[in-house]
């Protein structure tokens, strides 16, 4: 109860600030009217040559330390990554834990945004952003269901660990998002980057074995049979077909290998959206290439006059 009251108080306070703060000048000049929103102070101090906002070194390093530590711990516990030595259930236990935790931030974002609406917030663009976050959560849910269908959640120890981590991380991200949206989005940017690389490594190491395994029914239903509305909704940065990871180049589901390729590419879609939210406070950015968020360089302090200059 105390946690709920604290969250309500923080959301109400930040809701007032959220609606009163004015967007930076460059936002008004480069973004559609539906995405003219204020930026958190940690990210507005300096822009790079693309006009992208950069993060304070302290916050950037803290986020990276937190996410890298949790990720390294999961990889240490779940180090079975070779299908020639381990079963598919043993290999996907890591992905089950990662997906359980990775989908939590989207719930946290929506919780805060809904609470702000309750207190009267009507920021232009929030409606579209809430729909996208719901679509992202739905996509991560199906990743989780795929891993469960492969036996990744067969151990009660794995389920308990994943659910405990997810519960704690939900409240942490909720509080961070209520105070500083860009810091919260940066946390997920780092997670999705790890997720993409983890799936990519798994695909490279196990390509031959995965191509002999069948497509789970839940994967075929999600990627081929269901209405693609929600799927298309979270793909906010459309790339040309010449790009290898473009949606148009995704493989048809002929084996489990194709399923993991699609899951890996989904993580990249989330990463692109999150990069743009951190750097431009916009889901689509400025139409330029998407790169990871950078650290704001330290500003040089001009030297004052020396003692000799007085003579």
Furthest C-alpha separation in the chain: 84
Sign of CA dihedral 51, 56, 61, 64: negative
Site of tokens 């030595």: 85
- Residue 193, number of CB atoms within 10 A of its CB: 19
Is residue 217 a contact partner of residue 79, using CB atoms and an 8 Å limit? Answer: no
What does the pLDDT read at residue 250? 82
**What are all long-range contacts of 9-16, with beta carbons under 8 Å and residues at least 24 apart?**
10/175, 10/178, 10/179, 11/112, 11/115, 11/116, 11/119, 11/178, 12/115, 12/119, 14/112, 14/116, 14/178, 14/179, 15/115, 15/116, 15/119, 15/120, 15/121
Q: Which two tokens stand for residue 109?
A: 């974002």
**What are all long-range contacts of 122-125, with beta carbons under 8 Å and residues at least 24 apart?**
122/19, 123/18, 123/19, 123/37, 124/33, 124/34, 124/35, 124/36, 124/37, 125/34, 125/35, 125/36, 125/37
Residue 274: closest CA among 201, 198, 181: 181
Q: Which domains does the chain have, with CATH numbers?
A: 42-293 (1.20.1260.140)
Is residue 293 a contact partner of residue 278, using CB atoms and an 8 Å limit? Answer: yes
Q: For residue 34, what is the DSSP state? A: G
Site of tokens 């997670």: 191
Continuous segment of H or E residues that includes residue 29: helix 25-30
Which portions of the chain are predicted below pLDDT 50? 1-14, 16-17, 19-45, 310-311
> HEC profile for 46-87?
CECCCCCECECHHHHHHHHHHHHHHHHHHHHHCCCCCCCCCC
Residue 126: closest CA among 110, 139, 108, 102: 110
* Alpha-helical runs (H) found in 152-235: 156-179, 181-210, 217-220, 229-234
What does the pLDDT read at residue 47? 57
Q: Which two tokens stand for residue 206?
A: 């196990």
Sign of CA dihedral 249, 253, 259, 260: negative
What does the pLDDT read at residue 227? 82
């Amino acid at each position: 109860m105390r946690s709920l009251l604290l969250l309500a108080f923080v959301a109400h306070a930040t809701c007032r600030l959220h609606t009163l703060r004015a967007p930076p000048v460059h936002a008004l000049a480069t973004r559609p009217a539906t995405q003219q929103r204020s930026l958190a102070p940690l990210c507005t101090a300096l822009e790079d040559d693309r006009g992208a906002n950069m993060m304070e070194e302290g916050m950037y390093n803290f986020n990276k330390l937190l996410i890298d530590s949790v990720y390294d711990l999961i990889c240490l516990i779940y180090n079975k990554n070779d299908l020639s030595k381990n079963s598919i259930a043993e290999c996907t236990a890591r992905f089950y834990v990662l997906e359980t935790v990775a989908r939590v931030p989207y719930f946290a974002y929506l919780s805060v945004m809904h609470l702000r609406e309750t207190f009267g917030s009507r920021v232009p663009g929030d409606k579209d952003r809430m729909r996208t976050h719901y679509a992202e959560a739905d996509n991560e849910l199906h990743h989780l269901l795929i891993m469960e269908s492969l036996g990744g959640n067969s151990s009660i120890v794995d389920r308990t660990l994943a659910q405990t981590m997810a519960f704690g991380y939900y409240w942490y991200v909720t509080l961070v998002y209520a105070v500083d949206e860009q810091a919260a989005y940066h946390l997920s940017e780092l997670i999705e980057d790890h997720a993409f690389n983890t799936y990519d490594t798994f695909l490279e190491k196990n390509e031959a074995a995965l191509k002999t395994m069948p497509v789970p029914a839940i994967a075929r239903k999600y990627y081929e049979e269901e209405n693609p509305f929600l799927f298309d909704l979270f793909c906010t940065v459309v790339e040309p077909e010449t790009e290898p990871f473009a949606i148009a180049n995704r493989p048809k589901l002929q084996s489990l290998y194709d399923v993991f390729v699609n899951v890996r590419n989904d993580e990249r879609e989330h990463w692109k959206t999150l990069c743009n939210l951190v750097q431009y406070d916009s889901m689509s950015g400025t139409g330029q290439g998407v790169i990871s968020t950078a650290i704001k360089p330290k500003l040089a302090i001009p030297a004052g006059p020396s003692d000799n200059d007085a003579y």
